[in-house]
Amino acid sequence: MRKIISRFQKDLGKLQATLQKESNDLLEKVKHLELIDSLDVKKRELEKLFQKKLKKLEPAYLQFVGELRKNAKKAGIDIDKIEKDIKGKANVASKSIKKTTSTQKKKVKAGTKKAKTKISSTIKTVKKKVDKAAQKKKSTAKATKTAKKTTKKTTKKTTTKKKTTGSKKKT
């Protein structure tokens, strides 16, 4: 059993080293790409590079997986069952994540709707208050105008009466 684990660790180390080397090479090539005018051209070139690297890595990966399955069978471990369990748990987790995000979105929408209604209602009440104040101002302005007019008329009448009474006394 220890031999199987040590062989597995060595194979895993080799695979990691190969992946690290290939990814470093790929990063260097991506960094050294010339600036190309079109994004589509860059995309095509990157796809070609990735395909080349994948073609190089695929045999090593398949060999690693094959050895892993053989060693697991020898040890009495069913990798297919483990893989199915992991995929099932991943599906359950993704569904629960989708469900929680959808409920959170609904809560956010409801909160924004409430806030919008509160804002619109406060705007309406402010408008009403402003309109009432404007009407009061207009009515007070009218009242002051009429009061000024009446005071002017009364002052004119009193001044004309004084003039007429003064002229009568002289004669």
Residues 6 or more apart whose Cβ sits within 8 Å of residue 139: none
Instruction: From 125, 27, 118, 16, select the one nearest 60 (Cα to Cα).
Output: 16
CA distance 32 to 21: 17
All structural domains of the chain with their residue ranges: 1-77, 83-116
* Residue 106 CB coordination number (10 Å): 10
pTM strictly above 0.85:
no
Q: Tens-digit pLDDT profile for the chain (171 aa)?
A: 788 888 888 888 888 888 888 888 887 777 766 555 666 777 888 899 989 888 888 888 888 888 888 888 888 888 888 888 888 988 888 888 888 888 888 888 887 877 778 787 788 787 777 777 777 777 777 777 777 777 777 776 666 665 565 555 544
Instruction: From 58, 48, 50, 71, select the one nearest 15 (Cα to Cα).
Output: 58
Phi, psi of 32 (to 5 degrees): -90, 0
Q: What is the pLDDT of residue 170?
A: 47
Structure tokens at 95: 């569904």
User: What is 146-163 written as a DSSP string?
Assistant: HHHHHHHHHHHHHHHHHH
Greatest distance between any 2 Cα atoms in the chain = 148
Q: What is the pLDDT of residue 164?
A: 60
